[in-house]
Amino acid sequence: MISNQVKAHLALLSVNIIYGANYLIAKGLMPNKIEASALVFLRIGGAGLLFFLLKLFIKERVEKKDIGLLALCGFLGVGINQFFSMNGLSLTSPVDAAIIVTAMPIFTVIISYFLLKEPLTIQRILGISIGGSGAVLLIFLGNSGMGTGSLLGNIYIFINALAFSFYLVLVKPLMSKYKPVTVIIWTFLFGFIIIFPFCIQKLITSDFTPFTSFNWASLFYVILGPTFLAYLLNMFALQYVKPTVSSSYIYVQPAVAMILVTIISYLVADSQYKGDITIPKLLCCIFIFGGVYLISSGPLKWFKKPKS
């Protein structure tokens, strides 16, 4: 019989494989098949409806004093996050997007220092410096003309990761006070209200007649996979493992994206992704991974104070 701990790790692995594949699948839809903002509308609206149906089985009221914080979490964690994630991905390389997002733990540590007054050790400061340098260099590599990377798209992905990092810090007290599904439905509601005026026109003018069965399957995947199913699996996993364990699985995302890009570049002679995996990008990836390792791991022996 499989233990809950093993199930939790399998769930986290599945979550990050889903996210990693989504960079390529969503990119395949944008912008030729559907405009990014229209996809944002369908993604938030579709997943929000599924969460609402799930909420029918969970009766829980929220206090009026928490509505403002829920609205802010919806603005950052759903509205800004999804809007800049999809619009950024539509402009840049799926590899660039997947790597930049792995810097999220670095942003979270910095935000926690200012908002929660969590201490910054020398090891964490070094990790922030190394990982942050890799993220900044990768963003500007989007302007090099190599592959499908884009400076503007990379900046959008950076904003997406930064907004979600703020969300992770701000939502923490809400998640300990209410059931996860209650928090999710409220944040998705506010997120939908926020993106509605910016995305509805793009959806209305979208033409779905050229959609093939593969395009519809991709759209179904984007709504059901990384937006609804991944969130549920992550909630299940967090019941049995620490958040630090959960965040360590973020490394799976660029690995999956790179593998898929490599396979497509090998199978398709004129693939647009042929120049997306380069030595400079891999070096930036190593910098970010190294920085995240330093800030998320326990004190390494050369950073420990000697015993008197």
d(CA 194, CA 165): 19
Report which of 144, 134, 139 is spatially closest to residue 156, judged by C-alpha positions.
Answer: 139
- pLDDT attached to residue 107: 85
The predicted model scores a pTM of 0.86
- pLDDT attached to residue 196: 97
Place of tokens 């660029």: 254
- pLDDT attached to residue 304: 61
Q: Supply the DSSP symbol for 308.
A: -
Measure CA of the first residue to CA of the last residue in the chain; give whole Å.
49
Report which of 26, 46, 45 is spatially closest to residue 36, judged by C-alpha positions.
Answer: 26
Tokens describing residue 194: 């926020």
Report which of 123, 128, 124, 235 is spatially closest to residue 187, judged by C-alpha positions.
Answer: 235
Q: Which residues of the chain have pLDDT under 50?
A: none
- pLDDT attached to residue 190: 96
